[in-house]
Structure 1
């Protein structure tokens, strides 16, 4: 096994010193705000299995930087909306912390849901299941 210079947990803790974190209750209170874009960075299989926050945009973690970058051939217009506040989430807040830090380095204003979708569900946040077919 390689001798890591930094563990994944340490990377997340380090990222959290530089990013804005939002707790679940705050995001629940803002659900439905037209100026808020909730971005689910989980794998498509996670969304299919556990559902998603209603109205959230799916942007897989592996494509996020490319979808945000207006110079990328993969750019998505959802990330070019003026006056919107973007909040990333994953299952537990680790991937979204790293992703938020990366987007911050790119100059994109973003925050993340500190405790993730798991806490969202535990606190009774609404969940929509994907439609079959």
Structure 2
């Protein structure tokens, strides 16, 4: 993502398989985002090590991602935000997507 932002996809695996994925986005199931972001967690993901990094959260339509972005802000990610309209808005804007079916 431009300028070093991290795009986090919190959609379900079934949504990702059915609809496709955004190239370069990282996938964290919604129920593990907090553990991936917490540096003291054994499940911490180093891509979430920089609290100053812009983190853009995306779900299917933009509802879950708003909640995840708010949680990330509470965890210290000052530049956390969500993708308004979610994956559907991205796809409908003809931005790059890839097939995720095996």
Q: Same fold (TM over 0.5)?
A: yes
- Bigger-Rg structure (1/2): 1
Query: Which of residues 22, 44, 50 in structure 2 aligns to 1:53?
Result: 22
Which residue number corresponds to residue 126 of structure 1? 96
Alpha-carbon distance between aligned partners in 2 of 1:98 and 1:64, rounded to the nearest angstrom: 11
Alpha-carbon distance between aligned partners in 2 of 1:82 and 1:96, rounded to the nearest angstrom: 18
Structure 2 residue ranges without an equivalent (≥5): none
1:100–1:112 Cα contact (<8 Å) kept:
yes
Q: CA RMSD in A?
A: 1.6
> Partner of 2:66: helix, strand, or coil?
helix
2:35–2:41 Cα contact (<8 Å) kept:
yes
Alpha-carbon distance between aligned partners in 2 of 1:82 and 1:100, rounded to the nearest angstrom: 13
1:35–1:83 Cα contact (<8 Å) kept:
no
Query: Which of residues 98, 103, 106 in structure 1 aligns to 2:67?
Result: 98
Query: Which of residues 54, 59, 67 in structure 2 aligns to 1:85?
Result: 54
1:48–1:130 Cα contact (<8 Å) kept:
yes
1:129 deviates by: 1.3
> Partner of 1:62: helix, strand, or coil?
helix
Kindly report structure 1 stretches of 4+ aligned residues shifted beyond 4 Å: none
Alpha-carbon distance between aligned partners in 2 of 1:119 and 1:87, rounded to the nearest angstrom: 14
Structure 1 residue ranges without an equivalent (≥5): 1-31
Change (3 A) 1:82 1:105: closer
Alpha-carbon distance between aligned partners in 2 of 1:100 and 1:83, rounded to the nearest angstrom: 14
Alpha-carbon distance between aligned partners in 2 of 1:75 and 1:114, rounded to the nearest angstrom: 26
